[in-house]
Every structure is written in C-alpha cells, then in structure tokens.
Amino acid sequence: MTLSVKDRVFAAAEQISAERRPTVSTVRAAAGVSNADATRYLKEWVEEKQSAGGQVAATPAVLLEQAARLAGAVWAEASGVANERHATAEAIWAQEKKDLNQEVAELVKDLDTASTDNETAVREFKARIAELESQGAAMAEQLKAARSAASDAAAAAASAVTRAAAAEARAGALQEAHDALLQRITPETPRHDTHEEQPEA
C-alpha cells in the first residue's frame, strides 16, 4: 500500500516528536518530500495535535518504528518504480533520438542525391540548349545562304529569259531579212496563158 505525501509527513512527525519537536527540515528529510509539502502538512499535524489536547503527546516507540519501516519500504518501492520508469523513458528517448538522427541522415543523403541529380540535369539541359542554339545558328546561316542562292538563281533566270527573248527577236528579224532578200534575188516566173485545142468535128 502506497502512503500519500500527507501520511508520510504525519508519520515522520510522529516519529521525530518522540525525541524532539519536529521541524520542517527534519520532517522533509525523514518523509522524503518537498519543502513545501513538509511545511504544509507539518502545520496541519501540529494543528491537529493542538486541537486534540493542546500538548503534543509522545507516540509509542513501537508505532514509530513500524511507521518508519513502512515509510522506508514505501519510499524504497516508490524510488524503485521511479527509477524503472526513468530508465524506460530514457531508453525510449535514446531510441527515438537514434531513429530521428538516422532519419535526418537519410534526409540529408536524399537531399544531397537530389542536389547532385539536379545539378547534372541542369548541366545536361544547358549543354542541350547550347547544342540547339549552335544548330539554330548553323541553320540560320544555311537559310541565309539558300536565300542568297535562290536570289542569284532568280536573277540568273530573269537574265536568261531576257537574253532568250532578245535572241528570239533577233532570230525573227533575221528571218524576215532573209525572206526579203530571197524575194529580191529570185526572178519572177512569166505567166503563160494555156489555150486548149478544140477537136475537129
């Protein structure tokens, strides 16, 4: 059975009162309580004793010894339970700390990997962009050259058409001159009237 703080203070006060007047410090040490609890419950103990008969009566030594043994056993048991709970809580805390540190380490590793992958991707994208820009510049030069060649070809074609038209015109003029010359140098053939003879009757 676990005694309350009040019971432990009252038992300690009874035990101490057999030899001397109990004080806050002696009760606190004997009962294993805080200074505030010792002050509070010792005051109640004194008030109860005074209301019971005015003078605090001495407690039999047998009862004091039993109370002290009981208080000591209770205190020892409570201390053991507290130590076990503290050890359990400390072990749980240590495991949680270990797990948390491992999780943080994994997150840092993942972040490093992601950063490396990101940097690699950025380098690849930049290289691809530079390659595309180079290809674009080359295609622009090729397009410019093609347009220039097309312009030159169109100019050459137009010139050829003009020369062909001029040649055709000259050929026509020469043909006309040739025909005229032939007409001038070719004598005209005299025309003869043909009289058909009538057969005699």
Average pLDDT over residues 135-151: 85
**What does the alpha-carbon distance between residue 165 and residue 3 come to, in Å, rounded to a whole number?**
132
Same domain, yes or no, for 72 and 109? Answer: no
Average pLDDT over residues 46-65: 70
Same domain, yes or no, for 109 and 175? Answer: yes
Same domain, yes or no, for 133 and 110? Answer: yes
Q: What pLDDT, on a 0 to 100 scale, did the predictor assign at position 110?
A: 80
Of 40-49, 74-83, 191-200, the range with the highest mean pLDDT is: 40-49
Give the dihedral sign, CA 92/98/101/106: negative
Q: What is the mean pLDDT of the chain?
A: 82
Residue 26: is its pLDDT beyond 80? Answer: yes
**170 located within any domain:** yes
Give the dihedral sign, CA 31/32/38/41: negative
- Determine the structural domain holding residue 143 and report its residue range: 93-183
Same domain, yes or no, for 88 and 98? Answer: no
Query: How many domains is the chain built from?
Result: 2
Q: Please report which helix (H) or strand (E) contains residue 108, including its range.
A: helix 61-185
Q: What pLDDT, on a 0 to 100 scale, did the predictor assign at position 193?
A: 54
Query: How confident is residue 198, by pLDDT bands cut at 50, 70 and 90?
Result: low
Give the dihedral sign, CA 178/184/185/189: positive
Q: What pLDDT, on a 0 to 100 scale, did the predictor assign at position 14?
A: 93
Q: What pLDDT, on a 0 to 100 scale, did the predictor assign at position 9?
A: 94
Q: What pLDDT, on a 0 to 100 scale, did the predictor assign at position 56?
A: 47
What's the CA angle centered on 1, arms 34 and 13, to 5 degrees? 40
Same domain, yes or no, for 172 and 109? Answer: yes
Other CB atoms within a 10 A radius of the CB of residue 23 amount to 14
Average pLDDT over residues 177-199: 68
Query: How confident is residue 10, by pLDDT bands cut at 50, 70 and 90?
Result: very high
Residue 38: is its pLDDT beyond 80? Answer: yes
**166 located within any domain:** yes
